Each structure stands twice: as C-alpha cells, then as structure tokens.
Structure 1
C-alpha cells in the first residue's frame, strides 16, 4: 500500500511539475521612467556693452517771454549711441543722441537737439528701467543754446542684440541765446537699438 501511494505521489509530482513550471513567470522589472527635462530657467541678462540705434517720437515745447507764451509740437526723430555697464542689478551708462525736429514757434524753427546723458537703472533681466540726467544743446532760427534734461526710460531685449523701448525727457533752456526767451517742454520717443 505504501508502495502504491509513493508511486502515485511520484507520478502526480512528475505530471504537476511541468504545469507549475509553465505557470510561473518572473515578475517584470520596474519600468524605466526617464527623468523629466529641467524647466528652462532665465539666468538674467547682462546689459554691459555698446549700442546704437534710432528713435521716433513726439515733442511738445513752450517758449516764454515775460507773460507771453508760444507753444510748438510735432515730430522728433534721431539716432543715439551709448555704453552701459551692468554691476548686477544696477546699470550705469552714458549716451549721446541727436534729434531733428519739425517744431515751429510761430515762424521760428527748432531744428535739432543734441543730448549728452548719464543713464542709471535697474537690471530686471530682459528689461532695463532707467533714469536720465544730462545736458542738451538746441539749434534754432533764433540761435543756439545749452540747457539741461531729466527723464525716464525702459529697454526690453527682444534678442541678445536687439532692444526696443521708450524714453520720456524733460528739457529746460533758460534765456535762450540771450534773447530773454525761456524754452521748456518734453519729448516722448520710441527707440530701437542694436547692442554690440
């Protein structure tokens, strides 16, 4: 009896072993998931370097002689060149610009304004916000004279080399060319620059 039981057990084992062997499968390895690409990080922008460009805008100036006043407004357009140095978040630079105008004070033309400016501003990455102070030289039918300017502006980098922006300037010319006429007013211009 024992012998029959052992033979039966061996037979069952022999038949069952291949069935169990075929049903056993190795667990699949954990899938390989690639690490996500790092998100692009804007590391800031260096404003150090020279630039040159052109401007187009609008001017509104007043000429005063005693209690009499005469206004003129019209187009201003010109060119500029300068250099900035970026100290991190603070940018300091200088600029020379020339603007021709079509401003007419009752028959007296203001032909052009040349400006020498100091620019100081904040580096906000692709944007530079700045203030301006400097000297201006105006040429007109009355003669030529020197004055001063104050203003604000902003430049935005479209690429590493090309910027667009705008600039507001207040001008003051006292006793223009010893005529007793005081001229003051403002210009607002759109600007485009190529940076070297």
Structure 2
C-alpha cells in the first residue's frame, strides 16, 4: 500500500510540474518602462566619403502596448545618449517616438518591428531629424521584460560646403524593464 501511495504521489507531482510551468494566457496590454544599453555606430557620408565612429548607447524607454489576438500594437518613446563624442559632430541626446507592431509567439515571447521619428542632438549648432526602423525580440518574466533589438536611424544632414551629406546609425541594444 505504501509503495502504491508513494508512486501515486510522485506521479502526481511529476504531472504537476509541466502544468505549473505553463503560463495562464496573460495579456500583454499595458504600460512599460525600462532601461537600455548597447552598441552604437554612427556613419557620416559626405559625397562619396564615409567616416565612422562607434561606442556605447544607453537610455530609457517607455510606452503602451495593446494586444488583440496574437497581435501587438504600441507606442513608445526613448531618450538615449551615446559615448561617441569625438569626430563626427559630437553626438548627444537622441529622442525617439514611434510605433511598435508585434506578434505574440506564445504567452511570454514577442517578435516585433518598430519605426518612427528620431531627433539627434549634434554639436553642429542644430539637431538632425530623421527616421528609425528596427526589429526585436521580447521575453516577459511575470511583469518584467527583456529585449534584444536592432535599429537603424537615418538623418538628412543637408549640404556641407555644397556637398550632399547624410548621417546614419546602427544600434544593437538590450533592454530590461517592468510592465504595468
């Protein structure tokens, strides 16, 4: 009798482990805030010549997502800075506001595309305005999230001494934060 009870108890415990590991079907709608950091490359193209600088990017992000079925649509804003301060116009604060469209792969994993307006402060007595596009992966941890994201921004510098110039940047960032 004891062997049967122990076997039954062990079987019930083992069967409960996968059930406990399954998520309850959480909704990914709501506010989020987080911090981010990563690798930043700025490329200035003047005529046919390129100049590159790289460094670290760091900042904060906030937004609101709405889930409908397996789709996500959200708005987000970021304020970031960079360690790039020599050479290419002394890059400074970057302000971003945009949309995020995603697909909920399961209750905890989201893949997404993003795009929007970006404004880069440079030490050229003006700010550069442009657009940002990116893609990422998000994993949720019971009210918290982690993200891995690639993004590309392009800015129209205009003319430098009568030569058409463009500034673009590539970033790979990780972000962690909380959802409300």
TM range (shorter): 0.7 to 0.9
Residue 43 of structure 1 and its aligned partner are, at CA, apart by 3.4
In 2, Cα distance between equivalents of 1:111 and 1:76: 10
Provide runs of 4+ in structure 1 moved above 6 Å. Answer: 31-35
Q: What corresponds to 2:178 in structure 1? A: 194
Contact (CA 8 Å) 1:131, 1:153: kept in 2 or not?
yes
Deviations 1:121-143 (A, max 9, x none): 01121011110011100001012
Residue 78 of structure 1 and its aligned partner are, at CA, apart by 0.1
Could you tell me which of 162, 170, 173 is aligned with 2:144? 162
- The alignment's TM-score, normalised by the length of structure 2, stands at 0.83
Contact (CA 8 Å) 1:73, 1:104: kept in 2 or not?
no
Aligned 1:39-118 pairs, distance under 5 A: 40=19, 41-104=22-85, 106=87, 108-118=89-99
1:153 lines up with 2:136 in the alignment: yes
Residue 105 of structure 1 and its aligned partner are, at CA, apart by 5.2
In 2, Cα distance between equivalents of 1:147 and 1:105: 21
Deviations 1:57-105 (A, max 9, x none): 1111110111222111100000010000010200100100011012245
- The alignment's TM-score, normalised by the length of structure 1, stands at 0.76
Deviations 1:150-192 (A, max 9, x none): 1001111122x1111111110110125x544310121111100
Contact (CA 8 Å) 1:102, 1:109: kept in 2 or not?
no
Query: Partner of 2:75: helix, strand, or coil?
Result: strand
Cα 1:110/1:184, change in 2 over 3 Å = same
Could you tell me which of 122, 135, 146 is aligned with 1:140? 122
Query: Partner of 1:99: helix, strand, or coil?
Result: strand
Contiguous gaps of at least 5 residues in structure 2: none
Query: Partner of 2:54: helix, strand, or coil?
Result: strand
Larger Rg, first or second structure (1 or 2): 1
Contiguous gaps of at least 5 residues in structure 1: 1-30
More strand by share: 2
In 2, Cα distance between equivalents of 1:111 and 1:72: 13
Residue 107 of structure 1 and its aligned partner are, at CA, apart by 5.9
